[in-house]
Amino acid sequence: MFRISLNNLIKRQIHGNAEIIEKCKEIINRNPRNLERLRIARKPIGYALDTREITFWHKLEIYATQRNVITEIHHFENGPIIRVSSMEWGIKKQLFSTKDTIAYKFVGRVLAQRCLESGISEIYVNDSIIVGSKVQLLLDTLSECGICLKEPERYKVPKPGILVHPEKPWETV
């Protein structure tokens, strides 16, 4: 019933990436946070007289009100980029209380899922944020779901006299 000609088969062959790269003249990276993923981007260090530390790309903020739990991931330039709250309708309908330990754990799972979907796998957690067992439960849930709670150090080019060179983040071993 079906007739397949030889020309159609040749047109539909899957070619390798090497052929595409040979024909490519220009590559445009449209990901603004690519340098952060490669650990090359500058981490702001702030000023000497500042009281707060600004040595992060993505930072976790937790706000606990009398009725709800709000967590946000802040970018050092753009402010809050991911926000999860126990006030959200989909989360609120699944919980008995929006303030108990189960709410913290559930908000942690949803935050981890949204972070991984947006490409954030490492976040900075300030030590002063860990106040109680509920917050510790949220942090444990984040680490169980695949979020690293410590950002990697910025890659610095080694000086010429050093014999041991650190691994480059953009090369796979």
Q: How many domains does the chain have?
A: 1
Mean pLDDT for 6-26 is 64
Residue 3 has pLDDT above 60, yes or no: no
Phi, psi of 42 (to 5 degrees): -70, 135
Report the distance separating Cα 78 and Cα 75, nearest Å.
Answer: 5
- 3 located within any domain: no
Per the rule left: phi > 0, alpha: psi between -120 and 50, beta: everything else, 106 is alpha
CATH number at residue 79: 3.30.420.80
- 121 located within any domain: yes
- 95 located within any domain: yes
Confidence of residue 43 (pLDDT cuts 50, 70, 90): confident
Over residues 55-106, the pLDDT tens digits come to 888 999 999 999 999 999 998 888 899 999 999 999 999 889 989 999 999 9
- 22 located within any domain: no
pLDDT, the chain, mean: 82
- The domain in which residue 99 lies consists of 56-145
- 120 located within any domain: yes
pTM above the 0.95 mark?
Answer: no
- 88 located within any domain: yes
Mean pLDDT for 111-132 is 88
- 90 located within any domain: yes
Predicted local distance difference test score (pLDDT) of residue 106: 94
- 134 located within any domain: yes
Of residues 169 and 135, more confidence is placed in 135
Predicted local distance difference test score (pLDDT) of residue 86: 93
